[in-house]
Amino acid sequence: VVLFFYPKDNTYGCTKEACSFRDNYERISELDAIVMGVSGDSARSHETFVKQHKLPFPLLSDKEGKLRSGLQVPKWYFGLPGRTTYVISKEGVILDVFDSQIGFNQHVTRAIKVLEENK
């Protein structure tokens, strides 16, 4: 599982990141993994975001921040939600945690590298 947390639908960096996962979705699938995105946006916002950018993976709504808090996703400046990606094995082991607020495209590159190393 590639689980990526991002701050907000339809913002510059988050759109770049989500589209980067979309553009590499086939490669991630070939590595026998699934992708899911998580933000505090509503399910309705996610539905629009998915349709608008043709995202082939689900987005989870974590409006109350329970999942974000449970996985200790760090906040960014001024309390803004952080941008963190987890790569999780089929056995439920967290293989990698990558945190970069401004490295939008680095998240997918790193996730693919970890998946390839653990295939």
Q: Which helix (H) or strand (E) holds 69?
A: helix 66-70
Catalytic entry in 6, 7, 9, 14 = 14
Active site residue 19: no
- CA nearest to 65, candidates 1, 13, 10, 5: 5
Q: Which of 92, 114, 110, 112 is nearest to 100 (CA)?
A: 110
Helix (H) or strand (E) holding 3: strand 2-5
Catalytic residues: 14
